[in-house]
Structure 1
């Protein structure tokens, strides 16, 4: 928790000032600023202007909620009391117990700005793990008498958690006149003895209070834990945050996600809501309904997703079924939707934003002919035979042929991405012991990545990876080559060390760290090891370096394995970006044009009044 006391003088850029004025005058509004254009700073300036009452809640991807806002508040000295609901004062992840304690403190805290990641707004009902006697199991003579007594208590009481069983056993023994009973550590040791002897086992049970429907006993998100009161006969969540800021609002683009439904349920209690994003419609226009609903509760785009789809989309069915595979915008949908939301969202064109040059270079990676044939055969037949090498029980080197099967098109797409990048997951879905297992197919991409790192003039390099196997192979290969490479862990300390140029190569996963982080001071070179299908992930990750404050030309390399799925990814991303660019342009605030229009209208009004006055005089 921290409290800043004196805000530094802030001179907003023209596009930021336009956005500031729009947000000040619209209590429920979306701000679509380009990545790195200062959404956080602009919003803090808005808060300084409107000075909202009560608590403020910032909901964001974990990296942003964990560091970006705190860093900006400290940098500019905003007089805001802050508290994280994710990490402690030393940037260590809060335990569930400590997090729930902070949730409870909200009711008595003075006005505070809280930070929480999207996933912790609400959580599914958690099953309880309880110790359960194994039916028919009989204690062996080697089992201690005390462990046998604990087993007897458990058989009499029924399934219990470990702490509950410890407390009940100690209370039982104390009831026999033996003071407070045995130490808790001793009882836990006896319980462990029973577990190892297969006399008791851990079993999952639905919540006893709600049978899994969801309650404060089994759901541990922020909204789940808030108090509920009867208001007009309805159970109503007591919502303590009058002001809500959603950073990267595209995280709420799914109309049936838990996070959207939870926030929609408390939306009537919010008096100011600000949505921020640089990528409002990454997967197309269908991403907008839920984001806009949180602003106006359905007044603009319809009360539900069905009304939205029926008005502006037509379904494209899965062949042979009545199930929509995707929703296609009608001919007039784009223009009509842009017009419909123009009073709720604004995108200031960053004509005054000075950024260095950006160079995006596709680097071809050539696979050997035999590998390329295997890739094409796999794509055609959905089956790939690979040779597994392992050490047998007798210590000898053994080889076997294993078939990798893509069960459907989605699985095939993922497998082809893996193949192009150099590894292929080989886990057996029916064998948990094989989880995460993969086979190295080739090292051609990693060779090119190493070459680019070595020829970057000693400057730091970000490498964006997709699969865990990519990360592990990069760490192994570059480390073996005496290159200091580290995988980003989400901490503020690692952000600081990167920006101080203390990390020569940092591996970054777009989903975990592609949003909001200010990494522009640490380097200006990025390598896309595997391009994503998500436009959001692509643009946001590029924006870690290509953003305000970057002083050097930015170079982004995209590794493209020739003859593979990699080759179509640039055009896929370009098509998605065109849809989004059109959307942002459509809601851009052209203040000069607006002022000219207002002046013309005022002149017309004056003329009408003059005509009216003249006719009355006559």
Structure 2
């Protein structure tokens, strides 16, 4: 296929070429992979600025997406790819294979750094889903930080740079500029731009930006980060969000309130208990969905309200395919027992969905969060169980709400009234508001090929 880039794709390509360190905060469907590969191809074979490229990506994306894009476009078919995946023997073989681009899943970054020790051979690194390096204490971040001085060019790609707030930005930006813009250490970044927020005596649980800090952070990174929203550059399908409440009976709600008050629900052969607030929040979220694990791993059924509403929503789809997102294994098991549904997991599942051979598909947002194009198979999403992760939430919705979707996308959220569901939904909305501010601050405004 001949690649005929849109103006925004040309702009993003030039941004990578012009800057040794760059981040593209691109919405799903804008073609970040082909943009980056086109720039890599030019740097390898036109300007000869790099010799060996490493792409770090989520496992499913590493397995499929980058290689598939190279085969899809005529101008990229000459690029040689080696996938550093599988067991250690296979990874060693891939490392020693002569190629232009080496692709590794992010879980094996530490292994790769240890393998080369002081002789790091990759002069360009692309981090697909840069936000997966948001933790400054994670081994993958520490490993990549160690070899960052040997990397001539680095590109970060993500649509969700700050899923939990601006604190998440430090480690991502550090990998780009080694601390030039947002301080050399996370402690220095926090001290300069944030104030303690939630705390218990001397233990600080969260931070909030100082007055004017957001604007200053955005200004600092705007020269190496560009953001593009699909709605600015593509004709996106309309999206309608529905929030569908369900209500527990008095008896069911009393069980929920008892666990909420006492962190304990006694049963004859296995209690449901919570040893701390985090565990309690998880147990309450499970109960919102209708079942909860006890101390022995057994499943305690509490109510069928969401299953009943799911049946109604499937029926109201009038035979159109629906994609249902679940949160817990017992959600999946109860859905599969109640409906003729099928997991979206393997390449064949994905193909069957897109070909219209699956009426009810189910998936966990973590497994469908990256690298899947599902827009051809349907336009209705049902959130049976919610996720706290804004990144997973946005990415999962983006599997269907993206370029190529020909119908209005309906996103249904089944919310159990008066439960943790409402708090999760509110938290997602708050995080999205904060991230939207960041995206808007560094958004590339195109006019005649120039950002304005």
Query: Aligning the two structures, in what range does the TM-score lie when normalised by the shorter sequence?
Result: over 0.9
CA distance in 2, matches of 1:584, 1:357: 20
- Name the counterpart of 1:604: none
Q: Equivalent residue for 2:366? A: 511
Summarize the alignment of residues 592-607 of structure 1 with structure 2, pairs less than 5 Å apart. Answer: 592=447
Instruction: Tell whether the 8 Å contact from 2:11 to 2:449 is kept in structure 1 after alignment.
Output: no
**What is residue 406 of structure 1 aligned with on the other side?**
274
| CA displacement 1:108-161 (0-9 Å, x = unmatched) | x32332222211212xxxxxxxxxxxxxxxxxxxxxxxxxxxxxxxxxxxxxxx
Counterpart mapping for 1:241-256 below 5 A: 241-256=122-137
Q: 2:3 is matched with which residue? A: 10
Deviations 1:591-615 (A, max 9, x none): 5499699xxxxxxxxxxxxxxxxxx
For 1:254 and 1:45, locate their aligned partners in 2 and report how far apart those are by CA, in whole Å. Answer: 30
On the 8 A contact 2:82/2:95 being kept in 1, the answer is no
Q: Secondary structure at the match of 2:157?
A: strand
Match of residue 402 from structure 2: 547
Distance 2:167 2:222 in 1: 17
Residue equivalent to 1:471 = 332
CA contact (8 A) 2:22 2:224 kept: yes
Pairing partner for 1:419 from 287, 298, 311 = 287
SS state of the match for residue 347, structure 1?
Answer: strand
- CA drift of 1:401 comes to 6.0
Helix, strand or coil: the match of 1:514? Answer: coil
Q: CA deviation at 1:570?
A: 2.6
Q: Does 1:499 align with 2:339?
A: no
**Is residue 331 of structure 1 aligned with residue 221 of structure 2?**
no
Of 116, 131, 138 in structure 1, the residue corresponding to residue 104 of structure 2 is 116
Could you say which residue in structure 1 is the equivalent of 2:175?
294
- Which deviates more from structure 2 when the two are superposed, residues 511-520 or residues 306-315? 511-520
Given candidates 293, 305, 312, the residue that maps to 1:451 is 312
Equivalent position of 1:224 in the other structure: 114
Match of 1:130 in 2: none
Q: CA deviation at 1:498?
A: 2.0
2:388 aligned residue (530, 533, 549): 533
CA distance in 1, matches of 2:134, 2:410: 31
Give, in whole Å, the separation in 2 of the partners of 1:593 and 1:562. Answer: 49
Q: Shift of the alpha carbon at 1:82? A: 1.7
Superposition pairs of residues 169-568 of structure 1, within 5 angstroms: 221-226=111-116, 228=117, 236=118, 238-316=119-197, 318-320=199-201, 322-350=202-230, 351-386=232-267, 400=268, 402-427=270-295, 434=296, 436-478=297-339, 483=340, 485-489=341-345, 491-568=346-423
Aligned to 1:20: 13
After TM superposition, give the deviation of residue 83 of structure 1 in Å.
2.4
Q: How far apart in 1 are the matches of 2:12 and 2:395?
A: 20
Residue 60 (1) aligns with residue 57 (2): yes
Shift of 1:438: 1.9
Q: Deviations over 1:60-99 (max 9, x none)?
A: 112222222222222224221122223xxxxxxx3x2433
Separation in 1, partners of 2:315, 2:266: 35
Give the whole-Å Cα distance in 1 for the aligned partners of 2:424 and 2:317. Answer: 25
Q: Is the 8 A contact 1:15 1:349 kept in 2?
A: no
Q: Structure 1, residues 539-584: CA drift from partner, whole Å, max 9, x if none?
A: 1110000011111111111010112121233322111111111101
Cα distance between partner residues in 1 of 2:257 and 2:17: 56
1:503-536, Cα deviation, whole Å (9 max, x unpaired): 2222211223212311111111111111111111
Whole-Å separation in 1 of the counterparts to 2:229 and 2:164:
23
Query: Residues 443-497 of structure 1: CA distance to partner in whole angstroms, max 9, x if unpaired?
Result: 221222233223323222211111111112112221xxxx2x22233x3333222
TM-align CA RMSD: 2.0
Q: Is the 8 A contact 2:327 2:385 kept in 1?
A: yes
Is the radius of gyration larger for structure 1 or structure 2? 1
Q: Check the 8 A contact 2:445/2:451 in 1, yes or no.
A: no
Where does structure 1 lack aligned partners over 5 or more consecutive residues?
A: 1-7, 87-93, 123-220, 229-235, 387-399, 428-433, 598-618
Tell me the distance in 1 between the aligned counterparts of 2:205 and 2:348: 44
Deviation of 1:33 (Å): 0.9
Residue 402 of structure 1 and its aligned partner are, at CA, apart by: 4.2
Instruction: Please give the secondary structure, in 1, of the residue aligned with 2:206.
Output: strand
Q: 1:106 aligns with which of 95, 100, 103?
A: 95
Change (3 A) 1:502 1:73: farther
Contact 1:54-1:111 at 8 Å conserved across structures: no
Could you say if the C-alpha distance between residues 438 and 319 of structure 1 is closer, same or farther in structure 2, counting changes exceeding 3 Å?
Answer: same
TM-score normalised by length of structure 2: 0.93
Aligned length: 445
Find the partner of 2:23 among 22, 26, 30. Answer: 30
> Which secondary structure state, in structure 1, belongs to the residue aligned with residue 385 of structure 2?
coil
Query: Distance between the aligned counterparts of 2:308 and 2:198, measured in 1?
Result: 43
Distance verdict in 2 for CA 1:408–1:97, change over 3 Å: closer
